[in-house]
Structure 1
Amino acid sequence: MITEIADYRLIKLIGTNGSEVWLAKKNGKQYVVKIPKMNILKTFTRKDIEEFLEKAETWKKLSEKHENIVKIYEYGLKPLPYIVMEYCETNLREILREKGNLSIEETKDIAVKILEALNIAHHHGVVYRDIKPENILFHEEKPKIGDWGIAKILLRTTTKTGYTGTPMYSAPEQLDPKEYGEVDWRTDIWQIGCLLYEMITGEPPFQAEYPGRLAFKILTEEPEPITTAPQ
């Protein structure tokens, strides 16, 4: 079992979702280290390695351009592919779980900062595609977009197809690209709308017990209107 990567001591496994996410320390400071799961690494091809490096470099450059993007300190391939990023104490999902919903002022403050960060990404040809409360992280109370793992680089053509994202926050084009067209920057705007709705009401705009019903609601129905502004 690996206990150290690039001089970062792995302290505690804090997440698993395609990657192992570790709390790490170096020189007394906390970091987060992401490592692809071993079963995924076993199937890595040269193209996968190239894509990993491209996404890591893109994320690092974006994080240097805007403070509301989780900062990447370094990345590499030995002893395993890894990304080292800043440690964030919590995320929007945890905040909503604790508070229920946010005030209009709190919602506006978070939304403006996230939109500014997305604007930087869009100007560099990157669409995030997975805006949701779990991916809005907070470091010293500052909101930051984290986990750019499925971000699509629009300036590069790709042969990969298939669904990417989180069903509950999906835009119509993610569910039915033949009908609604390809994913682009407007996908992020749709998802920001879903995020705003949930911050204000405490509930996502579209919910259903089954994935098929959820997709149908997103494609054909309007969410319940917000009738009472939170205090």
Structure 2
Amino acid sequence: MTGKVLNNRYELVEKIGTGGMADVYKARCRVLKRWVAVKILKDEFVNDEEFLERFEREAYAAGSLNHPNIVSIYDVGRDDNIHYIVMEYVDGITLKDYIRQNGALPWEEAADIAISILSALHKAHRHNIIHRDIKPQNILLTSDNVPKVSDFGIARAATTATATRKIDTVGSVHYASPEQARGGYTDEKSDIYSVGVTLFEMVTGHVPFDADNPVTVALKQINDEPPKPSDFVPELPETIDNIILRAMRKSKSERYDSALQMIAELDHMKKGELGENYSNNWDTQFATRVIMNTEEEALAGKKDKKNKKDKKKDRKDSGKPKKSLGVAALYVVLLGAIIGALWLTYVHVIGPFIAT
């Protein structure tokens, strides 16, 4: 296939990867004069019309995602019997290779990478797209060490009639959620489970479940509780243990409810706000967790936008009765600047606090 030019536009230069349903080539776009990656569907799938429709549908769905931590989709096409997707070319290595080269990563670095992955997933989940194959092999690190999630081309929109209901042959069982290993319905919490496994591997250099054959690994995903990461690396803080194990709960209802929630908790951990006495109890942690409004805020750790929204909310609610004497006194000051009519409306609420 090397040397072939697809639709007089994409010149295939070098095969750089292969997956369950496609081969990936580095290619030169003759029109825009830039390097791209071209994913070409394998021959065994080209006569399956249903699969071809799915292939194109997934490509268009992935093309709707624009995020700094997602490998961009540029084009989808067909040249004779060759079906392909054109993607952003990332000059870097996979997270899997990075772990192989460096061994277990410092937990701070691993947390930053996990936040980037979750930020990409948050974007996808907002578009009703589930990745279903999150693993270090599908995370690319650029030359500037920016993580980018690839292979959204095999994801499918959760709202389509063919929403995934069984484990795919292209999925990796070492990172598959229990429901995926059982052939059950997958959703955004399935992706969160896979992020937990990926984070486990980053901080330990090992996958939590392994065996000589994929069936045994799948059974472990379904039935066995994962070990603590600190069993492999004793110096890891207890908080990283708890975050990873929470993401990997067997029951979806006990995992993080969204990618943003896990981002927030990783962010708190990095700032030392969780402490060694952190509890995995869903209810208490959910009640106290600060949820950031955007993935950009989570990545940068900025609260300016949130603070502005909080101030607007305070002004909007300024006429509501308050139980706290301090809050009531503040509202008296604010109401003093309001016209007399409003003062008469609220004085019966604020008056008792003034008298004290």
**Alignment TM-score, normalising by the size of structure 2:** 0.59
Q: What are the superposed Cα offsets for residues 184-229 of structure 1, whole Å, 9 maximum, x if unpaired? A: 1110011010001000000011111223321222222222212224
Q: What are the superposed Cα offsets for residues 37-65 of structure 1, whole Å, 9 maximum, x if unpaired? A: 22322x231x3332222111111111x2x
Counterpart in 1 of 2:13? Answer: 11
- Please tell me whether residue 148 in structure 1 is matched to residue 152 in structure 2: yes
C-alpha change, 1:33 and 1:98, in structure 2 (3 Å) is same
Contact map agreement 2:179 2:222 (CA 8 A) in 1: no
Contact map agreement 2:164 2:186 (CA 8 A) in 1: no
Contact map agreement 1:130 1:166 (CA 8 A) in 2: yes
C-alpha change, 1:97 and 1:24, in structure 2 (3 Å) is same
Which amino acid counterpart does residue 208 of structure 2 have in structure 1?
P
Counterpart in 2 of 1:32? Answer: 37
Counterpart in 1 of 2:309? Answer: none
Write the distance in 1 (CA, Å) between the matches of 2:112 and 2:190.
21
More helix by share: 2
Structure number with bigger Rg: 2
Counterpart in 2 of 1:210? Answer: 213
C-alpha change, 1:38 and 1:210, in structure 2 (3 Å) is closer
Please, which of 181, 185, 192 is the counterpart of residue 175 of structure 1? 181
C-alpha change, 1:68 and 1:113, in structure 2 (3 Å) is same
Contact map agreement 1:200 1:229 (CA 8 A) in 2: no
Question: Where do 5+ consecutive residues of structure 2 fail to align?
Answer: 238-356
Which amino acid counterpart does residue 109 of structure 1 have in structure 2?
D
Contact map agreement 2:73 2:87 (CA 8 A) in 1: yes
Contact map agreement 1:92 1:137 (CA 8 A) in 2: yes
Counterpart in 2 of 1:44? Answer: 48
Please, which of 2, 20, 25 is the counterpart of residue 22 of structure 1? 25
Counterpart in 1 of 2:69? Answer: 68
Write the distance in 2 (CA, Å) between the matches of 1:192 and 1:82.
28
Q: Identity rate of aligned residues, in percent?
A: 37
Contact map agreement 2:73 2:85 (CA 8 A) in 1: yes
Count of residue correspondences: 224
Q: What are the superposed Cα offsets for residues 45-93 of structure 1, whole Å, 9 maximum, x if unpaired? A: 1x3332222111111111x2x1111011212123432111111221101
